[in-house]
Amino acid sequence: MLTVLSLALVVGLAAWSASRLAGASQANTPPPSSSLADRLDQLLPQTQCRQCLFDGCRPYAEAMARGEADINRCPPGGDATITALARELGRTPIPLNPAHGVHGPLRLARIDESRCIGCRLCIKACPVDAIVGAPKLMHTVIATDCTGCELCLPPCPVDCIDLGPPPTRILAPVTAITDPVTSS
C-alpha cells in the first residue's frame, strides 16, 4: 500500500512539474504581433535606410499606424510595399513619393579594402551592423546582412565604398574543418 502511495505521489509531482515547466515556457513566449504598427512594420523591407525621414522601419510603421505618415515613403519597398500597406490600412495604393527616392534593384555596399583606412565611420553609420573591421585596419561588408541603405557612403572620408549588385553566389559559412592529418 505504501508503494502505491509513493508511486502516486511521484507521478503526481512529475505531472505538476511538467505542467509548471510548460506554463513557464508559454509565459516567456511573446504573444503574436497584433498591433497595427507591428503588422505594418512586418510589411516594410527592414532596410533601415531612413529615406522615409524616420529613424528606421519601425518608427515609420508607428507613424503610419497613428495616421501621421503616408504609405508612399519607402523607396526600397516600391509599389509592392505600398500596395501591401494600403491593403492593411484599407486604403487605395498611391504612387511612391519621389521626394523620398526611387525604387530600384537591390544594391549592396562593397568596400575597396586597398583604399580603406579603418576609420570606422562606416561601421557607426550602418544601421544593421553589416560592416566589420578594426580601427586603422581594413573593413569589409557582410553581404548577407547588407540592406543597401547607402548610409555608409557619406561618412567615408576616402570614398572607398560603392554599391553594386548582390554577388551571384554567397558562400555558406564553414560548419566543420577537417584536419587531414588526424582524419585519415
Mean pLDDT, to the nearest integer, of 168-184?
55
- Alpha carbons 44 and 85: distance in angstroms, whole number: 8
Question: What pLDDT score does 178 carry?
Answer: 52
- Alpha carbons 165 and 119: distance in angstroms, whole number: 25
Question: What pLDDT score does 65 carry?
Answer: 97
Question: What pLDDT score does 7 carry?
Answer: 40
3-class SS shares of the chain: helix, strand, coil, % to 5: 35, 10, 60
Q: Summarize pLDDT for 22-63 with one digit per residue, the tens.
A: 444 444 344 454 799 999 999 999 999 999 999 999 999 999
- Residue 35 has phi, psi (to 5 degrees) of -75, 155
DSSP 8-state class, residue 151: T
Q: Provide CATH code, domain 105-169.
A: 3.30.70.20
In sequence order, what E strands does the chain have?
A: 108-111, 131-133, 139-141, 161-164
Please report which helix (H) or strand (E) contains residue 123, including its range. helix 121-125
Average pLDDT across the chain, whole number: 82
- Alpha carbons 9 and 125: distance in angstroms, whole number: 61
- Alpha carbons 167 and 176: distance in angstroms, whole number: 24
C-alpha cell at 175: 560548419
Contacts of 66 (CB under 8 A, 6+ apart): none
Mean pLDDT, to the nearest integer, of 67-86?
97
What's the pLDDT band for 167 if we cut at 50, 70, 90?
A: confident
CATH superfamily of 36-100: Electron transport complex subunit B, putative Fe-S cluster (1.10.15.40)
pTM, two decimals, is: 0.68
Instruction: For the chain, count helices (H), then strands (E).
Output: 5, 4
Mean pLDDT, to the nearest integer, of 3-24?
41
Q: Name the residue ranges covered by the structural domains of the chain.
A: 36-100, 105-169
